[in-house]
Amino acid sequence: MSEQPSEPRSAAGATELLSAVRFQEELRRVACFGSRVLVGDPLAAAVRKITQNPAFTQSRLLARILSALTYQEGDFRRAEVSALDSDTLSLVITLMDAYAAGTSAREKWIGAVDEVQATLLGAQ
């Protein structure tokens, strides 16, 4: 006789938390199946996307990703991997690559997070 898990698999998977690093790995895994849009300055593009539509779910998630990259911390739900449309996912991958390459000064990343947070607070 086999033991039954205490939670259904679908419920457990929907609430599974991922670290910022693990979430980025999952985003890259999903993105490998799509096309990439080239973005000249992904940090500025992310800030612009968030400030143009701060109430959108994707904007709030993008803001959390930006903050997680900048401060190397944060938790995400596994289900959030699929919350980004293909253009935003492409932007996030380019943003992650830009952070890893160190093409922008840390102060610029911190300033972007501060600007985005102020915008999100104003949209509430």
Give pLDDT tens digits for 40-67.
899 999 999 999 999 999 999 999 999 9
Report if residue 36 sits inside a domain: yes
Res. 100: pLDDT tops 60: yes
Report if residue 75 sits inside a domain: yes
Report if residue 23 sits inside a domain: yes
Strands 17-19 and 75-77: antiparallel
Number of structural domains (the chain) is 1
Predicted TM-score (pTM) of this structure: 0.81
Q: pLDDT digits over 3-20, tens only?
A: 444 444 444 445 789 999
Sorting pLDDT into bands at 50, 70 and 90, what band is 99?
A: very high
What radius of gyration do the chain's Cα atoms show? 16
H helix intervals, the chain: 9-14, 20-31, 42-52, 57-71, 86-101, 106-123
Domain that holds residue 35: 16-123
Report if residue 119 sits inside a domain: yes
Nearest to residue 18, comparing CAs of 77, 62, 72, 64?
A: 77
